[in-house]
Amino acid sequence: MHKKNTVFLRTFGCQMNIRDSEVISGLLQKAGYRISATDQDADIIIFNTCSVRKHAEDRVWSLIGSYKGSKVIGLVGCMAQNYKEQAFQRDPHISFVVGPQDIHKLPVIIEKILGDNLFSDKNLLERKIWETAGDLRPEEIYHMDFYQDKNHAHVVISEGCSNFCSYCVVPYVRGALRHRKHKDILIEIREVIARGVTKVTLLGQNVNAYQDSQVNFTKLLEQVNALSGLKEFDFFTSHPKDAGVDFFKAIRDLEKLVKRLHLPLQSGSDKILKLMNRGYQAKDYLSLIDSYRKIVKSGRLTTDIIVGFPTETDAEFNQTYALVKKARFNAAYIFKYSSRPGTEAAKIIDPLKQAELEQRHRKILNLQRSISQELRSSQVDAKK
Ligand code: SF4
């Protein structure tokens, strides 16, 4: 056992990756490694990566290149699953490639590499790492007692996604939707409460599709709300096609649950929503948020929008613009479409001119900024 080796983890992407990095840190610490806050004293650098946007991937390749083989480099997470053995061709300094479903194997993989010869260029590929795609990860990995924040813990309730939105790599890199057992989730939350945590965020790519035998997401929210010692909790992220009245009533009635909903819209055009494979139309979305606002009176509402999806015309962009104006979100994450190899959307050849993409992005960003500002000011006025 190489107890003295030091690992630095660099994390990119969503909350799920941040939580995965905590899990990896806990696993490696338990195996005798030291986790460092900087790369300077580390022998092993692990990049826990995101493939949702090309820009994030480019940054990782450039950072890996900057080490020029001076450290043992591991590519972990979504890029690992996406590039598989091509990662070794792309940068021969990479020593191991481990997809998100296989992070529990990291202590064994690293042990094997260090055993081979630290800093040798004899790269190891754990060739079976993709065979488990689709299985739930071992439950023990969620009980490694490693959380960055003393007061706030992120707890995974489901892994993967089966929605196959046409622009998204998540179902390919994280596998089909799998649910953790509700009893295990509650055990983990009790554990974090016992170590002093008072706030919990439940995590999944599509939390409101949660189902474990008779326990659906609304039931799970009720069970979490009932845990003594917990002061506040929330969840991230929901899908409109799985949202409904019971879910909104739970947000209203459960006193510890934060009165906030993040409900990604993506587009206000029915044609684009269909091409995106989102499973709803603009009118469904509007009636859903109308119902949310009637039930959760002062609840916050936030969303995600993608502009410049292939074949999006000016008229279709204007439908999104009009919907954002009507919906009056408290905040919105507005993304420029980024083509991801392997997805259905990447097969649609219609590159929008960059200038046009920038212009649409700016236009809707400005609209949302002014709406967010107005809503903030009206809340301040209401408090006076
Ligand atoms: S719901 Fe759609 S966008 Fe979200 S992770 Fe699943 S496939 Fe990707």
Structural domains for the chain: 6-117 (3.40.50.12160), 147-258 (3.30.750.210), 266-384 (3.30.750.200)
What's the whole-model pTM score?
0.90
> Can you tell me the distance from the alpha carbon of 320 to that of 269, in angstroms, rounded to the nearest whole number?
6
Containing H/E element for 301? strand 300-307
Contact 92, 121 (CB under 8 A): yes
**Hey, whose CA ends up nearest to atom 2 of ligand 1?**
165
Which tens digit of pLDDT belongs to each residue from 110-120? 888 777 554 44
Residues 258-296: b if buried by 16+ CB within 10 A, e if exposed: eeebbbbbbbbbbebbebbebebebeebeebbeebbebb
Percent of the chain residues past pLDDT 90, beyond the cut: 73
> Residue 314: pLDDT above 70?
yes
Which atom of ligand 1 is nearest to 237's Cα? 4
The structure tokens listed for 193 are: 């409460």
The structure tokens listed for 138 are: 């071992």
Q: How confident is the model at residue 267 (pLDDT cuts 50, 70, 90)?
A: very high
**Residue 126's pLDDT is what?**
43
**Hey, whose CA ends up nearest to atom 8 of ligand 1?**
168
Going from the Cα of 301 to the center of ligand 1, the distance in angstroms, rounded, reads 19
> Can you tell me the distance from the alpha carbon of 166 to that of 5, in angstroms, rounded to the nearest whole number?
42
Bridge-based pairing of strands 34-36 and 199-203 is: unpaired
Phi and psi of 154, rounded to 5°?
-100, 130
Which atom of ligand 1 is nearest to 277's Cα? 2
Containing H/E element for 232? strand 232-236
**Residue with structure tokens 């684009």?**
272
Residues 178-203: b if buried by 16+ CB within 10 A, e if exposed: bbbebebbbebbebbbeeebbbbbbb
Which tens digit of pLDDT belongs to each residue from 122-171? 444 443 343 345 567 899 999 998 998 999 999 999 999 999 999 999 99
**Residue 66's pLDDT is what?**
92
**Residue 130's pLDDT is what?**
38
Which atom of ligand 1 is nearest to 278's Cα? 2
Q: What is the mean pLDDT of residues 25-29?
A: 95
Q: What is the mean pLDDT of residues 255-265?
A: 98
**Residue 93's pLDDT is what?**
86
Which tens digit of pLDDT belongs to each residue from 35-83? 999 999 999 999 999 998 888 999 999 999 998 878 889 999 999 988 8
From 63-72, 198-207, 212-221, the region with the lowest mean pLDDT: 63-72
Chain-wide mean pLDDT for the chain? Answer: 91
> Residue 1: pLDDT above 80?
no
> Residue 276: pLDDT above 70?
yes
Going from the Cα of 192 to the center of ligand 1, the distance in angstroms, rounded, reads 28
From 130-139, 199-208, 355-364, the region with the lowest mean pLDDT: 130-139
**Hey, whose CA ends up nearest to atom 1 of ligand 1?**
163
Which atom of ligand 1 is nearest to 169's Cα? 8
